[in-house]
Amino acid sequence: MECKICKNNISNSMYKIKEMMFGTKEEFEYLKCSSCGCLQINDVPNNISRFYPDSYYSLKVNPELLFKKNKNSIKFYLKKIRDKYLLFHSNPIGLILSVLFPNHSLKKIINNYLSGIKIKKIVSEDSRILDVGCGKGELLFILREMGYRNCYGVDPFLSNDIVYENGLVVWKRTLFDITDEFDLIMLHHSFEHMQDPEKILMKIYKLLSFDGICLIRIPIVDCLAWENYRENWVQIDAPRHFFLHSRKSIEILAQKTGFFIKNTIFDSNEFQFWGSEKYMKGIPLTVDAKSDLKFTNKQINKFKKKAEALNKLGQGDQAVFYLSKKK
C-alpha cells in the first residue's frame, strides 16, 4: 500500500494496533512507511465519533469551574497579576510576586506551548490566537484569564458551542469553517487526529498572518518508545490517531505547503513508559483501580529522568514544531 505522505509503496510494513484507551481492543491496521517513516492508519472508521465519548479527557474538563471557586479572593487577584507578568513582563508587582511565589505550572505551560515563539505580535495581548482541536478550551481559558483578548477554539467533537463568562468562545466546528486571520494557530495533540494533514496545513497557511506561527505538538514515531514497544506504544492511540509522524514526514508536509520549520522542541514525558507498560500487559488507560498496574514513585521518577534525557538527545516520543511561512 502507498504512504499518504510521500507516496512511497515499496517495502512498507503493516501492523495490527488495538484500541486500548477505553479497552475495546478492536484492531486497526496501520502502515509504516519505509521512506518517510510515518505510521498511519489504513482505513479511518466511518463512525469515528464513537471513539470520542463525553468521558474523553479533553471533552470532560470544564476550565470555568476550576477558576470560579476562588475568583473573588485577594489571593486569586495577586496570582493573576503574577501570571500576567510571566506572559507579558509588564508589571513590576508581578515580577516581585513571581520571584516570591513562582508559578511552576504556568512556566511549564509557557515552555511547552509558547517557547520558540519570538515574534512581538504573539506576545501582545491583542494577538489573535486559534487553538484547533482544543476540547473545551482549557489552555485558551488560561490564556484569556492572563490577558489575551482574542482567543478562539474549534473542536468538531464538542456537543455544542461554548461561550465562557470571561469572553472565550469555543466553537463546535472544524478548521475549514474558519475564515479569519490569526497570528498564532496551535494544534496541541490534534494534528495526528486529522485525516488529510497536507490539506490541513494548506488551510492553516491561508489563515495565518504574514509573520505568524503555526505550532504543532504531536507524538513522534522515530523515537526510542516506538523501537521498544511497537504495537504497544501508548501514543499510537488507535484509531483516534490517524498519523504518527516522523520528523522527516513533517519536513515533507512543510515543504509541500509553503512552510519552513522554524524550531523544534522535544517535550516527551514519563507517560510514554508507564502507559506503554500497561498496554503490554493488556491494561487500558481507563480501568477499574483494582485491576490497574501500579508504579512506585521511584519507578515514575526513573521514567521522568529517562524522558528528559531522551528529549535532550532528540529521541523523545513527542515534539513541538514551530512553522513559519516561507518568505
Least confident range from 31-45, 82-96, 153-167: namely: 82-96
Average pLDDT over residues 212-232: 95
Residue 291 confidence (pLDDT): 52
Residue 271 confidence (pLDDT): 93
Average pLDDT over residues 14-43: 96
* Helix/strand/coil for 148: coil
Res. 73 pLDDT band, cuts 50 70 90 = low
Identify the sign of the CA torsion 83, 57, 71, 173.
positive
Beta pairing class for 208-219 and 27-32:
unpaired
Looking at the DSSP bridge assignments, the partners of residue 259 are 325
Average pLDDT over residues 252-278: 93
Across the chain, mean pLDDT equals 85
C-alpha cell at 308: 528528559
What is the percentage of the chain residues whose pLDDT exceeds 70?
79
The string of pLDDT tens digits covering residues 225-244 is 999 999 999 999 999 999 99
pTM of the entire structure? 0.84
Residue 125 confidence (pLDDT): 75
Residue 89 confidence (pLDDT): 64
Residue 120 confidence (pLDDT): 41
- Residue positions counted in the chain: 327
**How do the domains of the chain map onto residue ranges?**
1-44+218-257+268-322, 53-194
pLDDT at 78 over 80: no
Residue appearing with cell numbers 522542541: 265
Which range has highest mean pLDDT (118-122, 183-187, 200-204, 208-212)? Answer: 200-204
The string of pLDDT tens digits covering residues 96-132 is 766 777 666 555 555 555 555 544 445 567 889 999 9
Q: What is the C-alpha to C-alpha distance for residues 63 and 107, in angstroms, rounded to an integer?
A: 18
95, 85 in Cβ contact below 8 A? yes
Distances (CA, A) of 230 to 11, 48, 222, 224, 294: 18, 23, 11, 10, 22
Residue 296 confidence (pLDDT): 86
Res. 290 pLDDT band, cuts 50 70 90 = very low
Cite the beta strand spans of the chain per DSSP E: 13-18, 27-32, 39-41, 128-132, 150-154, 162-163, 169-171, 182-188, 208-219, 243-244, 259-266, 318-325
Least confident range from 30-44, 139-153, 255-269: namely: 139-153
Q: What is the C-alpha to C-alpha distance for residues 296 and 283, in angstroms, rounded to an integer?
A: 17
